[in-house]
Amino acid sequence: MLSSSAKKLLCAVLLVSCPVVRAEEQVEEKLRRLADQVAEIARKEEGIKDRISLLKKRTTLSELTVSKLKKEKESRSAELDAIRKEIGLIESRENGINEYFKARMKFQYLLGFLSEYRLISSATSTEDLRQAGFYINMLTERDRKHLEGLAALKRDKREKESECSSKIAEIEKIEADSASEKKILAEEIRQTRDLLEKLSKNSDTARTALEESLENARKMEIYFRDADFKKKVEMYGKNILIFKGKLPPPLRGRVAQGFGDYIHPKFRTKLPHPGIDIEAPLGSPVSAVFEGEVVYSGWLSGYGYAVILAHPGGVFSLASHLDRVDVSLGEVVRGGQRIGTSGGDPTRDYSGIYFELRQGKDPVDPAGWIREK
């Protein structure tokens, strides 16, 4: 049984210690919330920047298309002008032939419509008859060829002219559509930039709030006497998104299987693969790619021994198929700190690890986050 004075002392200790614990939890929760807010804005900024880049590429492509169509239109227009000149020459030839036929008809009218028969009937010998027939046939054949050739040439030119006119109309429509699309893209870029500017202001506000909260946390007494609390405070002061593309690899080795679905070499079945397989000698050190808190440590069904880290910025990393785990649940680790050693996947006949990154719930390709060797 506790004495009356001991009970009073115990109550006093509880009254003093409970608010401290609650304050610590509240500070951690606030820091986590602000860090997630900064990360969420950063993710949106990144997505908007990607959209602006895509819109710029579409605008450039549209401009190139308009330029190409303009050149094609000029070429077609020149071709059309050339065809029109050819048609003009044909019409001149046609007029000449028409004049020729008019003259012939006039001469034939003067001689009479039966002049050919008179020519034949006036022949006094077989030779004269043969020459007369040859002359009439030659004249008729020549006239026929002239007329047919002229008609065919005019028909071809009319078809070409129609083709060129249709092509120019088509090009003008595409050109107009491209110009319209360019205006739409320009407006989308303007709106997207306005949104980016607004997000940038929100980001500045969120970052300022986070910095103020970090400074307040660094002034707390518990910050100086509790190493774990201090690590968590400093962890929330960093954002993994800023280091995207610059993270160190979790294991020095060869990427045996990249991100994305693959066909299992042994069972020949298609399997999802939202991470990468890194091959390395058994027992090689496996490190954290960034500061984070251990939210899982131990045996994980289907993954073997695994470590899951929650990084500031809403990103999680998983290192599995470990031979040994060197960190415990709730521990805060720094970037580059060893979290275990490599083991292997018995179904894949190799030693190494399986590594995965998730932005929120969505798996992302680690290749875009880890720096090249």
Domain map (residue ranges) of the chain: 242-368
Distance CA 62, CA 180 (A): 10
* pLDDT recorded at residue 6: 39
User: Which among 328, 321, 337, 334 is positioned nearest to 296, based on CA atoms?
Assistant: 328
* pLDDT recorded at residue 299: 93
Write out the H or E segment, with its range, that includes residue 197.
Answer: helix 126-218
CATH code for 242-368?
A: 2.70.70.10
Q: Is 353 helix (H, G, I), strand (E, B) or coil?
A: strand
Q: How many CB atoms lie within 10 A of CB 73?
A: 17
* pLDDT recorded at residue 326: 96
Per residue of the chain (373 residues), what is the pLDDT tens digit? 444 543 443 343 333 334 445 677 788 787 777 777 777 777 777 777 777 777 778 777 777 777 777 777 777 777 778 877 877 777 777 777 777 777 767 766 655 555 555 555 555 666 665 665 666 677 677 777 777 777 777 787 788 778 778 877 877 877 787 777 778 878 887 887 887 788 778 777 877 887 888 888 888 888 888 888 888 888 888 888 888 889 999 999 999 889 998 876 676 788 788 999 999 999 999 999 999 999 999 999 889 999 999 998 789 999 999 999 999 998 999 999 999 999 987 766 779 999 999 988 889 999 999 987 6
Specify which residues 49 forms β-bridges with: none
Distance CA 37, CA 210 (A): 9
Q: Integer distance in angstroms from the first to the last C-alpha of the chain? A: 66
Q: How many CB atoms lie within 10 A of CB 77?
A: 14
User: Which among 348, 353, 264 is positioned nearest to 305, based on CA atoms?
Assistant: 353
* pLDDT recorded at residue 124: 61
Whether the model clears a pTM of 0.85, i.e. scores above it, the answer is no
* pLDDT recorded at residue 49: 76
Distance CA 43, CA 360 (A): 11
* pLDDT recorded at residue 13: 36
Distance CA 185, CA 198 (A): 20
Residues in contact with 188: Cβ distance below 8 Å, sequence separation at least 6, in sequence order: 55
* Spatial contact of 277 and 367, defined as CB atoms under 8 Å apart: no
Amino acid 321 reads: H
Q: At 2, phi and psi to the nearest 5?
A: -85, 145
* pLDDT recorded at residue 9: 35
Distance CA 157, CA 288 (A): 75
Helix axis angle for 126-218 and 227-236, nearest 10°, is 150
Distance CA 184, CA 186 (A): 5
Q: 340: number of CA atoms within 13 Å, CB side?
A: 29
